[in-house]
């Protein structure tokens, strides 16, 4: 399981021209699910993201989590994170989880984050989505489990 995290002042995702999820201050999460990923991976990743101190305190140090600031997550499925670009010019998606498995773990990840007390907005799994965001900093991290 892979995630790209971007600290944002705002982010939204639209499908067919309609906004389906939006947040103000928080974290934009692009979530990639691979074959063999399990609930334990989603548990670890959700806990890590919800507690990761990537927001500045009054001294300007990254000491606050999304929970500490009362922020939100916008979680968007991103199967291309499983893309392998090492051979040739066309990415291979052989390691991406099958759609039904990916959807199950995506929904589970979102549920775990919500149970942690974080407001979570989402895109639509497998939809063609347009994502807009204002990256704050910019601050971007990549997590893998």
* Distance of alpha carbon 31 from alpha carbon 129, whole angstroms: 14
Q: Which of 6, 55, 78, 109 is catalytic?
A: 78
* Distance of alpha carbon 38 from alpha carbon 137, whole angstroms: 32
Answer yes or no: 125 catalytic. no
Question: Are 49 and 27 a contacting pair, CB within 8 Å?
Answer: yes
Q: Which of 19, 40, 80, 130 is catalytic?
A: 80
Q: Taking Cα atoms as reference points, which of 142, 108, 122, 112 lies closest to residue 76?
A: 122
Q: Which of 6, 55, 79, 109 is catalytic?
A: 79
Answer yes or no: 6 catalytic. no
Catalytic residue set: 78-80
């Amino acid at each position: 399981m892979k995630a790209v995290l971007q600290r944002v002042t705002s982010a939204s995702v639209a499908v067919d021209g309609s906004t389906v999820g939006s947040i103000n201050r928080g974290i934009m999460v692009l979530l990639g699910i691979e074959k063999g990923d399990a609930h334990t991976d989603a548990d670890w990743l959700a806990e890590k993201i919800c507690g990761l101190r990537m927001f500045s305190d009054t001294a300007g140090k990254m000491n606050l989590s999304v929970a500490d600031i009362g922020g939100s997550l916008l979680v968007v499925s991103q199967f291309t994170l499983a893309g392998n670009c090492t051979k040739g010019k066309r990415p291979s998606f052989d390691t991406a989880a099958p759609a039904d498995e990916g959807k199950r773990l995506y929904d589970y990840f979102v549920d775990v984050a919500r149970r942690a007390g974080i407001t979570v907005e989402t895109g639509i799994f497998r939809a063609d989505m347009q994502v807009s965001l204002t990256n704050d900093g910019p601050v971007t991290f990549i997590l893998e489990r």
